[in-house]
Amino acid sequence: MRSHLIAFGLIITGTMAACTSQNAITENRQSPKPELTLNDVIPAKRNLTPEEKQKQKKTLDTDAKRFKNRKAASAYYVFQAKRNFNEEKIDSASLLLNKAWLMDSTNNEVYWAYGLVYGQQKVYDKALFVLYHALEKDQHNPRLLTDLATSHLGRFYAESNPQDLMQSKKLLESAVRYSPNAADAYYKLAISHYYLQEYGKAWDYLHKSISKDKAMADATFIAALLEKQQDPAGKYE
C-alpha cells in the first residue's frame, strides 16, 4: 500500500533539527509498542446509539450497492484516502479510512493507512499501535517495516527514548534484508546510527542510500555528519 503514500515527512525536518541541537538520550524505559486498543485508534469503532447504528447501516448499505461487494468498497475508499493523504488533506483521508474500515474491518491496508495519518499528525503512540497491528498480518513487508521505524524515529525525536531508537534500527535492518534496494530504509538507518553516535556506520548507510537513489543526498544531513566525522569514502568534504 505504501508505495503511493508520502512517507510522512521522512522525519527530515525533525531529524535535521536534532542534528544541530541533539537531544540528550534519557533512561525512560517504555515499551516499544504502546498499550492501547483498537477502540482507541479506530474512530469508526466508537459506540453508537441504536438510532445512529440504524442510520449508519442504511448509509453503508446504500454505498455498498455502488460496488461489487464491501471488500471492493473498502479498497476504493483506501485508494481515495491515499490520494487525499498525498495532497495533505489529512482530515479527508481520515474520514475515508473510517468508511473503508466500516466496509471491511479485515482490510489490513486500512490499519496501515491509519498509522500513516497518525504519524503525519505526530500522534506517535497511536501510529505505532495501529502499524504494529497491520504488521501482524504482513510481517515481511519492507515498506511497512520502514513506516514503523519512521514512527519510532519520530517519537524518539519528540521524547528522546532510546528504546525507540533501537527499535527503529531493528525494524530498518529487517526492511533492508527483505528489500536490499530500499534507499529510504538505508537513509533512515544512517539517521539511526547518527543518533547512536556511530558515525562510520551512518556514512556507510548514507552512501548505500545515495547509491540506490541520488535524491537521498540531503545536504543538511551530510553537513551534520561532516561535523562529527569526515566522510570515509572521501565523496563529501
Question: What is the model's pLDDT at position 97?
Answer: 96
AA identity, residue 67: F
* DSSP string for residues in 119-184: HHTT-HHHHHHHHHHHHTT-TT-HHHHHHHHHHHHHHHHHH--HHHHHHHHHHHHHHHHH-TT-HH
C-alpha cell at 20: 544541530
Give the model's pLDDT for residue 61.
Answer: 80
CA–CA gap between residue 195 and residue 18 (Å, rounded): 9
**Residue 195, φ and ψ in degrees, nearest 5:** -60, -35
Q: Quick one: average pLDDT of 143-155?
A: 95
Looking at residue 42, the DSSP 8-state letter turns out to be -
Query: How do residues 194-223 score in pLDDT, each as one tens digit?
Result: 999 999 999 999 999 999 999 999 899 999
pLDDT tens per residue across span 90-106: 999 999 999 999 999 99
Instruction: Kindly state the average pLDDT of the residues 36-46.
Output: 87
| Summary mean pLDDT of the chain | 84
Give backbone dihedrals phi and psi of 142, rounded to 5 degrees, phi first.
-65, -35
Residue 52 confidence class, pLDDT cut points 50, 70, 90: confident
Q: Which three cell numbers mark 173?
A: 535492518
Is residue 31 pLDDT above 60, yes or no?
A: no
Predicted confidence (pLDDT) at residue 152 exceeds the cutoff of 70: yes
